[in-house]
A and B are shown apart, each in its own frame.
Chain A
Amino acid sequence: GAVVSQHPSWVICKSGTSVKIECRSLDFQATTMFWYRQFPKQSLMLMATSNEGSKATYEQGVEKDKFLINHASLTLSTLTVTSAHPEDSSFYICSARGRDRPGEGYTFGSGTRLTVV
């Protein structure tokens, strides 16, 4: 089945530093990737949608300069949290959809727990 690998699974960083999270589709070409943020015991909130080779589309209220998304290839998308602050601490999850998997829905990564201290 389709697999999406997300790394790291957890990361602790100091306030003011940047953190990069990777999301890879291992056995299919992900034409579209989605990045979600999940607060404890809450639902997933879509942050942005990225299509390979084009700029990401951010949801309302998401700071594009803080959350940089790159989708440079059909198998890799990255989310960089720039100048991280404690309020950015959260669980981040990516999801991928492939052109060769119509009707199959989305495949989710295992998530990244970010803690900013």
Chain B
Amino acid sequence: AQSVTQPDIHITVSEGASLELRCNYSYGATPYLFWYVQSPGQGLQLLLKYFSGDTLVQGIKGFEAEFKRSQSSFNLRKPSVHWSDAAEYFCAVGEGSYDKLIFGTGTRLQVFP
């Protein structure tokens, strides 16, 4: 069965520092991969997605992610974090014809001034 692992439950960074959130997946075929962000008490906003093609994907708010098939990873990066980036980040894999999403456990990002 497909699964998604986000090894870091909680990450704290200083504003202006670089960020990398890890995501590993287990899936037999080429996965559809997503990163979502959730602010407290809110729904999810799509940051970026990978279906095929270029393995480096650009998203909104200055985020990017790189698909590495050999490592079964889809890590999210941002070169300079802003205080407004503090939120919960979820990695997800689409199952089959992406009929449903399987979510990782999430990584909570705190940003200190």
Contact = CB atoms under 8 A, between A and B. Distances in A.
A44 B103 contact: yes
A49 to B, nearest CB: 6
A interface residue count range (under 10 / 10 to 19 / 20 to 34 / 35 or more): 20 to 34
B101 A106 contact: yes
A111 B43 contact: yes
A42 B90 CA distance: 10
Nearest to A105: B49
Interface string B93-113: 010001111111110100000
A108 B44 contact: yes
B51 interface: yes
B99 A93 contact: no
Contacts of A44: 44, 90, 103
Interface residues of B, number: 23
B42 A111 contact: yes
A108 B102 CA distance: 14
A83 B32 CA distance: 37
Interface of B: 32, 34, 36, 41-46, 49, 51, 90, 94, 98-106, 108
Given A93-B44, A105-B32, 4 more contacts: A44-B90, A49-B99, A105-B34, A107-B46
21 contacts: A4-B43, A34-B101, A42-B105, A43-B104, A43-B106, A46-B100, A46-B102, A49-B100, A91-B41, A93-B43, A93-B44, A95-B101, A105-B46, A105-B49, A105-B94, A105-B98, A106-B46, A108-B36, A108-B43, A108-B44, A110-B42
